[in-house]
């Protein structure tokens, strides 16, 4: 069994979803591992990872609107060290999660037909985000 570790750098433009499926797929292909498990970890507390539909852009817009309703900005948070979007970003990250595990077969992730991997930026300003990739297999 082999293991490979890598990292993606993702530049965000502020709040939104950025699809990283192709970047992860290219990285896996470069490892030569055909069968195994890839794990992704977002190394931040105000951004997250999720798998969702990548065919209809309305899904991403609805997801962002829903997250805004669940964790809106406002003066009702004690933690606001980095501004009014600080604590809502942490809540959104906790709701959506910072890690994913995806089976790999024939050198490809076994995602569903309409599934894509997204980095969710929950802050209003642009950031450089890092996603650690780890694949284990043969």
Percent of the chain with pLDDT over 90: 99
The structural domains of the chain, with segments of one domain joined by +, span 2-137
Measured N-to-C along each axis, helices 57-70 and 86-96 cross at an angle, to the nearest 10 degrees, of: 120
Q: Where are the alpha helices (DSSP H) in the chain?
A: 21-31, 57-70, 86-96
% of the chain residues with pLDDT over 70: 100
| Per-residue confidence (pLDDT) for residue 31, from 0 to 100 | 98
CATH architecture entry for 2-137: Sandwich (2.60)
pTM score: 0.96
Confidence class for position 13, pLDDT limits 50, 70, 90: very high
* Predicted pLDDT of residue 5: 98
pLDDT tens-place string over residues 77-126: 999 899 999 999 999 999 999 999 999 999 999 999 999 999 999 999 99
Sign of CA dihedral 24, 29, 32, 33: positive
């Amino acid at each position: 069994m082999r293991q490979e570790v890598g990292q993606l750098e993702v530049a965000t433009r502020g709040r939104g979803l950025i699809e990283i499926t192709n970047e992860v797929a290219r990285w896996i292909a470069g490892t030569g591992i055909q069968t195994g498990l890839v794990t992704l970890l977002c190394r931040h507390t105000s951004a997250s990872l999720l798998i969702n539909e990548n065919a209809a852009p309305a899904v991403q817009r609805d997801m962002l609107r829903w997250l805004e309703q669940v964790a809106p900005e406002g003066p009702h948070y004690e933690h606001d060290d980095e501004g009014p979007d600080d604590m809502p970003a942490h809540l959104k990250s906790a709701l959506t999660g910072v890690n994913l595990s995806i089976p790999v077969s024939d050198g490809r992730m076994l995602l569903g037909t309409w599934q894509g991997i997204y980095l969710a930026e929950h802050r209003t300003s642009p950031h450089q985000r890092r996603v650690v990739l780890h694949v284990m297999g043969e």
